[in-house]
Chains A and B, each alone.
Chain A
Amino acid sequence: MAGVDDTISQVIKHIARIVVVVLMASACAGEEVDTSGVADLEPVTVEVFASKLESLGRPAIVNVWASWCIPCRSEAPLLTAAHLAYGGEIEFIGVNVRDSQVHAKGFIAEFGVEFDSYFDSGRSIPNHYAGIGTPITFFFAPGGELLSTHNGVIDDHALALGIDELLRLES
């Protein structure tokens, strides 16, 4: 038992050292992102957004994100890859919530997000579609009918499954 305790104690000490080193390094590190090529995000209302979805002749994936949202950072590379692969068949739309233009543009520049994002500081769009928290990914059929909602960070398999559903719906 004493051996187990010693081991656990050593593990905790090692983890504590690693955490301290990571925090110190992160405090010292800095990262500059050039946002000069990123346009201001267009503010949008629920009515305008809904009519845009209705007018689309193809399915849409709407991702609700914010620059302060850590899970959004994690899923951004996946959404960028999905847009590259399926952007010709599915409309990808971002909705930035509770954020500032400066920080939102920094996020877009950092992750190389190429699909358009709207500015919705009041969260009216995710609230209208009953999404919870941030991030959220909505899957819409052509014509703007909401098919499913994924609250929280989305992973590769979940997004691929949603995309496959949309593509089969279209065909």
Chain B
Amino acid sequence: MEFTLLWAALTGVVFAWGGTRLWPEGLPDHATDRMVGAAAAGLFIGRLVAMTLQGTNPLIHPGDILVIRGGVHTAAATVGALGTYLWTVKGQVRFLDATTAAAVLGLAGWHAGCVWRNMCLGAASDLPWTWSLPFSTITRHPVEIYAALGLIAAAFIVARLPVRVFLRAGAGLALASFVLLLTEPLRLTIQGGLEAWYIAGVVTGIVVMALGGRAGRSVPIQTT
């Protein structure tokens, strides 16, 4: 039995909690709890979709749903998490915008959690900051650390944006997708990369930002 995924998830929760302390303006009550719940629901939905696409019927094998490491559909998980979060705040999008920076920081924590799993490495490289697996001499890009640093930068950028309907939420989605799109070529994969989904995330984020801009009204920040 190995619990490294739980440590990585805990790192994500700690980062998200830190985000709510760094940028507390306008957050709903129990913001971290809602984010964790939304992430769990997103994983559940993403897992169901991944299983179905792989040809395993979740109704016949419900136990398989628990094996998150067996594969989670990224796009379905993202949509599921966003939908769940909105549901918990009764559809008030100002809470989505107020939470985005902390959520992106939480995602950075999840990627930084690779250190617990010894799963930070990707494509081979001779650059001086690369490192190797314990049993190997082949040095590799610490691609998940790159992603974590990029997402931390994205969280700080999002936090500096004005609070306007969908502006921060769209920017967060676009920036997070962009960071993951940039790092994706350095990840090793058998079943194919996620570039198409990350491009879709960038485009969707920009469209959402534009829609918020057209609405053109500022949302007063409220502390509940």
Q: Which residues of A contact B (CB under 8 A)?
A: 1, 4, 7, 11, 22-23, 25-26, 29-31, 70-71, 73-75, 77-78, 81-82, 85-86, 132-133, 147-148, 151-161, 163-165, 168
Contact = CB atoms under 8 A, between A and B. Distances in A.
Residue of A22, A133, A154, A155 contacting most chain B CB atoms (<10 Å): A155
The 10 A-B pairs of least Cβ separation, nearest first, read A74-B70, A160-B188, A74-B67, A152-B2, A25-B59, A77-B54, A70-B63, A29-B60, A153-B69, A155-B69
Interface in B173-223: 187-191
Interface string B136-152: 10101000000000000
B133 A81 contact: no
A141 to B, nearest CB: 10
A157 B119 CA distance: 8
Given A78-B70, A159-B190, 10 more contacts: A26-B60, A30-B60, A31-B57, A71-B67, A74-B56, A77-B54, A85-B190, A161-B121, A161-B122, A163-B190
Given A1-B29, A161-B121, A31 B60 contact: yes
Interface of B is mostly: loop
Interface residues of B, number: 39
B24 interface: no
A157 B62 contact: no
Contacts of A153: 67, 69-70
B71 interface: yes
Given A78-B191, A147-B135, A161-B188, A155 B71 contact: yes
15 contacts: A11-B88, A26-B59, A26-B61, A29-B60, A30-B60, A31-B57, A71-B67, A78-B190, A155-B71, A156-B191, A157-B119, A157-B122, A159-B190, A165-B133, A168-B138
Contact of B136 (A1, A7, A23, A165): A165
A4 B31 CA distance: 11
B124 interface: yes
A13 B121 CA distance: 41
Residue of B29, B59, B66, B140 contacting most chain A CB atoms (<10 Å): B59
B120 to A, nearest CB: 10
Interface string B16-53: 00000000000001100000010000000000000100
